[in-house]
Amino acid sequence: MIRLYVLAGFGCLFLMMNLNGNLNKYINTKYAYLSESAIVLLAILFVFEFVRLYAKEKEAAKRKAAQAAAERMNAEGGAHGEPEDELGHAPNNSHDHGHEHGHHRHNGHDHHGHDHYHDIAGHGREGHSHHGHSHEQPVRWKRYLGYGILIFPLLTGFILPVQTLDSSFVKAKGFSFPDFNVSADNPGFHQFLKPDTSVFYGKQGYAKVSKKELSEFESAKDVRLTDANFLKGLEALYNYPDAFLGRTLSFDGFIYKGEQAKGNSYFVFRFGFIHCVADSGVFGMLVTFPEGQSFENDQWVHVTGKLGSEFYQPFKQTLPVLEVKEWTGIPKPKDPYVYRA
């Protein structure tokens, strides 16, 4: 029965994510079909498990009814047999003697049979108890542990509120940017600044894809990064910075000061998903505002400026930098994430 509840729970959880519009906080929305497929599969498994349990309960009820009927028949047969024995043993003493002799043997046989049955039954109970302690309990313990592992994400999914990533996550995860290329040698490291999809291609394949994506932006005088093309455009910009130097660039993001941005320099970020939240990263660039401007972490802005570059000492490498000409504060988007198309 627990298995049935677990299947129903996961089906309802996935359905709730789709209906509430929270699925995009867990996975790239282009993979939404996987969630829909999971709902259908869980529904099929639920029906299968329900039918199996129903058949099992029905069979158990039949066995119980048959056992009760057999016990009633045995009870009725015993009640009718005792008077016949008394009448049959009454005529004469010789018959009584024979009966007593036979009855004695019968009793002896019964006694022996009873003892033998008792021994076997006792041995069976001891054996069952012994095997119950050595095999049944560990199996049951493992089964309950497995159910617990499945139930825990259900409880957290239904009870805990959905949280969106912000600058506190950047700070908590230690995005101190010690080495700009650290993610190249450590796939478990969350990406930052530059989206990098090279791990999904061979060297030649990635070169071909990156050239194709560059062609989508290099002909435009002004480059506007939207939610739809943010990760693609930013990756092209970092791969081919010379092709964008001196051009006007605009995009939306949230402010993050951090410990390595000094003076009027801030990072303007967006959280992005390549596939799901497990491979999410914080993407954007270093932005220099005019003198006298100050911002708080998580403040959302739309920035427009000229793209330049500078050697950034904390990263020990030359980075694209946006010299802001115009900026406006904007409300936090309903969906603060961007996704790789």
Burial class (CB in 10 A: 0-12, 13-18, 19+), 93: exposed
Report whether pLDDT(322) > 60.
yes
Q: Which of 238, 225, 149 is nearest to 193 (CA)?
A: 238
Q: Which of 310, 322, 281, 314 is nearest to 180 (CA)?
A: 314
In whole angstroms, what is the distance from residue 64 CA to residue 74 CA? 15
Left, alpha or beta for 75 (phi > 0: left; psi -120 to 50: alpha)? Answer: alpha
Report whether pLDDT(119) > 60.
no
Lowest mean pLDDT among 72-81, 103-112, 296-305, 316-325: 103-112
Q: CB–CB of 295/321 below 8 Å? A: no
pLDDT-based confidence at 184, cuts 50/70/90? very low
CA distances from 196 to 107, 114, 180, 190 (A): 90, 80, 12, 11
In whole angstroms, what is the distance from residue 73 CA to residue 80 CA? 11
In whole angstroms, what is the distance from residue 16 CA to residue 33 CA? 15
Average pLDDT of the chain?
Answer: 78
List of domains in the chain = 1-73+145-159 (no CATH), 167-339 (2.40.50.140)
pTM over 0.75: no
What sign results for the dihedral spanned by CA atoms 207, 211, 212, 213? positive
**Per-residue model confidence as pLDDT tens digits over 20-56:** 877 777 877 778 888 889 889 999 999 999 999 999 9
Report whether pLDDT(332) > 60.
yes
Lowest mean pLDDT among 90-94, 152-156, 163-167: 90-94
At CA 160, angle to CA 155 and CA 163, rounded to 5?
140
Q: In DSSP terms, which residues pair with 301 in a beta bridge?
A: 253, 329
pLDDT-based confidence at 125, cuts 50/70/90? very low
Q: How would DSSP label each residue in 244-309?
A: TTT-EEEEEEEEE-TTT--TTEEEEEEEEESSBGGG-EEEEEEEEPPTT----TT-EEEEEEEEEE
pLDDT over 70, % of the chain: 76
